[in-house]
Amino acid sequence: MSELRERAGKLDAADELAGVRGRFVLDDVVYLDGNSLGALPAHVPGRVEDVVRRQWGELRIRSWDESGWWTAPERIGDRIAPLVGAAPGQIVVGDSTSVNVFKALVGAVRLAGDGRDEILVDASTFPTDGYIAESAARLTGCTLRALTPAEVPGALSERTAAVLLNHVDYRTGRLHDLPSLTAAVHGVGAVAVWDLCHSAGALPVGLDEHGVDLAVGCTYKYLNGGPGSPAYLYVRRSLQDRFDSPLPGWNSHAEPFGMRPEYAPADGALRGRVGTPDILSMLALEAALDVWDGVSIQAVRAKSLALTDFFLECVAEYVGEGLVESITPVAHAERGSQVALRCADAGDVMKRLIERGVVGDYRAPDVLRFGFTPLYVGFADVERAARGVAAVL
């Protein structure tokens, strides 16, 4: 135990991202639930107070122009773009992940064109993606097939319109092969839609590099935007002039203040906008993204893998044999930024861990999830968390 604790100290001393931790509001708790809700960046409360007191309280309606409220969805989209490997002008921020999945999936079927009447969806997906996919299939007259990502290449055909996949499995932390799966989808002329909720801000995505068509993601996990912060929609530039959103709101109109009865879509990613943006949470997110200044996503990925490797090593050393089983892949190419441990009475175990100051979360029936946010989690945190698991078990 002392050897691992000593090594944790040395790893923290050599950590190039260690200084970023000071940009967050943290306490003595080991916080390993950033894959559900990221920690609060320390400067956000002051920025939100300015939005409320000055921009809203003093400037009022003038803030749509003078404070940049109107252009916030695309401006903040351009802040997120480098973190997911996208050039500017392809991401718009707004609405929830669920709403953006709906826009993307129905839009994907419309892009695929006539003669394609099947949607494939990740069978292990976060439930809301499955719900939305089922509704989108009914609305577009498509059949829906739920498959594991490994089964997708063999199921693709000329009937396939769109494929909705998760980059990282929310329950196990498994990282799926976005480049090869996207290429397989394109190989039959279908449209690839990716859910990035558990990868954006934790590892390189490469949307442009790998030719992803459409992507969605939330901002309250590894992007630390706050509870309920708005999600985002990515539309590849070459598809933007054909992207036909099923939610054509006034904010995506070519002349939003023309108040015309006929809809004419705006150019570019703006077609992904719908209604009036949620300015308070939108600008809190914009402030939160400042913590990424000077931070490389490659450095984040390297630390993420080191943290999860070290956690698995500490668990193997501290926890009695047979008490837990990791269901997260060992191979780096197949691992996101979380570790999922299966054990008996997992709900009670997590409750007791939280009482000991180690915060993760639980997924029924038997999974403990630990999310590792490299911007503020250190190696001493990892060693302490593993000791906590051992003590509780």
Residues noted as catalytic: 126, 195, 220-221, 369
CB burial class (10 A; 0-12, 13-18, 19+) of residue 53? exposed
User: How many Å apart are CA 38 and CA 17, to the nearest integer?
Assistant: 17
Phi, psi of 362 (to 5 degrees): -130, 140
Counts for the chain of helices (H) and strands (E), in that order: 12, 13
Three-state SS at 267: coil
The CA-atom distances, in angstroms, between 26 and each of 32, 39, 47 are 12, 7, 18
Contacts of 344 (CB under 8 A, 6+ apart): 366
DSSP 186-220: HHTT-EEEEE-TTTTTTS---TTTTT--EEEE-SS
Cβ atoms of 16 and 302 closer than 8 Å: no
What's the number of CA atoms in the CB half-sphere (13 Å) around residue 97?
A: 24
Q: Give the separation between CA 41 and CA 22, rounded to whole angstroms.
A: 9
Is 259 within 8 Å of 223 (Cβ atoms)?
Answer: no
Structural tokens at position 206: 């490469």
31 CB contacts (<8 Å, ≥6 apart)?
39, 359, 373, 376, 377, 381
